[in-house]
Amino acid sequence: MEKYKAGVIGGTGMVGQRFITLMENHPWFQLTAIAASPRSAGRRYEDAVSGRWAMQTPIPQEARDMVVLDASADVEKIAGMVDFVFCAVDMKKEEIRALEERYAKAECPVVSNNSAHRWTEDVPMVVPELNPGHIEIIPAQRRRLGTKRGFIAVKSNCSIQSYTPLLTPLMRAGYEIESVLACTYQAISGAGKTFERWPEMVDNLIPYIGGEEEKSEQEPLKVWGRIEGDRIVKAEGPAITTQCLRVPVSDGHTAAVFVRFREGKKPTEEQIKEIWKNFRGRAQELDLPSAPKQFIHYFEEPDRPQAKTERDLEGGMAISAGRLRPDTQYDYKFVGLSHNTLRGAAGGSVLLAELLCAEGYIDRR
């Protein structure tokens, strides 16, 4: 098939670098443009990331000699080169909102890794297995923006990927969840860091990540929300409370999750495991290139899942679960794990872009 031309805005940061690696040999997408801040613009990509390439694999050959464009100054030029862009810029939220809307109004679809537009009412925040129907708000967004092709779609925060995908199948099966307590133990790559660049994290734990608990408590409610007219209305429940800690792990966000079901709506442990095992989303139905064949993997061993051994399951796009058991205060407790820079960041955005292409929201120019 003729590939879609893709650009990466914010291509020199850690998530941008991950996007660059994911474009290598992608069956649907061809990397056509890389953009970053003015200090990187005009340089070969390999030179622009010299000394700060954070990926385990080498810089893809196709990207090495690409000249980095200016993400803000070259909007029209970039929009004319690509069918859509991924956005992973490091700017103030109001600046990101304005920049992404500039690309959309230049008739360039934006698949964003940023949080700036997650609460814009007509911008879908999508985990393709969980709420693919939210992309149906895009025509309303296009009417607001005055565009024919351009729009913005975003992926959710990386922290919620370790537990929201495990709760959603239970809710879909008809079990009403009353309340959730989730404590997340988040890798340093979620802060765009490596141990070489953040030596303070070695043998350390920081019990605070700015803004993360608010995102972790509220974003699942938008994922579980519904379209009403020209906006997405968040779900009223279940009630979620979280604590988010930064831990000395390179990749992989782990969550300790406690769940209380509404009275009379409590599944058995075996029913929960069976629901997880059999759950398939729209991404699996469409057989999208980045979609895991088995979305949720459950481990019976008492010491699993572990970040080091499970984070890369199915290309880092699967969700792992384990230690499901009754709790004395809640009904059940369990552990969830997701790869934060793959499923939780760039990989989730690539899967979202695949969904948007498959469903006809992104076309070739």
Residues annotated as catalytic (active site), given as ranges? 158, 253
> Look-up: residue for tokens 């069918």?
83
Which stretches does DSSP call E strand in the chain? 4-9, 29-36, 69-70, 84-87, 110-112, 152-154, 177-186, 226-228, 231-233, 239-246, 253-261, 296-299, 319-326, 332-338
Tokens read off for 163: 């537990």
Pairwise CA distance, residues 53 & 324, whole Å = 38
Tokens read off for 23: 């474009």
Pairwise CA distance, residues 65 & 351, whole Å = 26
Pairwise CA distance, residues 299 & 309, whole Å = 12
Please report, for the chain, how many H helices and E strands are present, in that order. 13, 14
Pairwise CA distance, residues 35 & 326, whole Å = 50
Q: Is 71 helix (H, G, I), strand (E, B) or coil?
A: coil
Tokens read off for 191: 């802060």
Pairwise CA distance, residues 24 & 259, whole Å = 40
Report the 10 Å Cβ neighbour count for 300: 9
Q: Are the C-beta atoms of 8 and 23 separated by less than 8 Å?
A: yes
- Supply the DSSP string of 300-350, one letter for each residue: -STT---HHHHTTHHHHTSEEEEEEEE-SSSSEEEEEEE-TTIIIIIHHHH
From residue 174, alpha-carbon distances to 102, 236, 262, 342 in Å are 42, 16, 11, 30
162, 59, 8, 201 alpha-carbon torsion, rounded to 10°? 40
